[in-house]
Amino acid sequence: MTTTDAPVVRSFEPAAHMKNLMKVGNAVLTPMLRSRWGARMHELALLTVTGRRTGTRYTTPVSVQEFEGNLVVLTASGWRVNLRGGADVELRHDGVERTMHADLVEDPDEVARVYGELLKGVGLAKANHVGLKVSGDRMPTHDELVDAIGHHRAVVVLTPS
């Protein structure tokens, strides 16, 4: 089988040492996104989520994308479980803080559909922008995306409250 026949698609998960670097990067990004520079960082936002059991508020930098008229966050992070059943969140995006309603999409078919559409938009060379690694020269099929993403990734759909 050649790379032109079947691309290899997998979820892009950072290695352990990269996770430590991401923590440092998030510590730098958080104050930047709260500052006037945050208004210029359109692809990034601060998302504040309240823990379901503890009530603790967690603020994390996230990458946001526009999809079907809404903002979406693609994630494999554990904080997403706090959004099961829907939840109100705070989003600081483009320098503006607003309350949004977050719906967590975990159905593998729907998650794969969203990832596939966004992948078409960014192209294969920038698959890492949507949390995927693709080798080959064709778009992955829906079934290949479902297999690659499995239950590792989810989509958070943000709508105005």
Pairing of β 87-93 and β 8-11: unpaired
The answer to whether the beta carbons of residues 92 and 45 sit under 8 Å apart is: yes
The CATH code that applies to domain 8-160 is 2.30.110.10
Q: pLDDT of 49-76, one tens digit each? A: 999 999 999 999 999 999 999 999 999 9
* pLDDT above 90 as % of the chain: 71
> How far apart are alpha carbons 76 and 71 in whole angstroms?
17
Alpha carbon distance 110, 88 (integer Å): 22
pLDDT 10s digits, 29-44 = 899 999 988 889 999 9
Q: Residue 6: is its pLDDT beyond 60?
A: no
Q: H/E element holding 133?
A: strand 132-135
pLDDT tens digits along 98-123: 999 999 999 999 999 999 999 999 99
Per-domain boundaries in the chain: 8-160
**Residue 1, pLDDT score:** 47
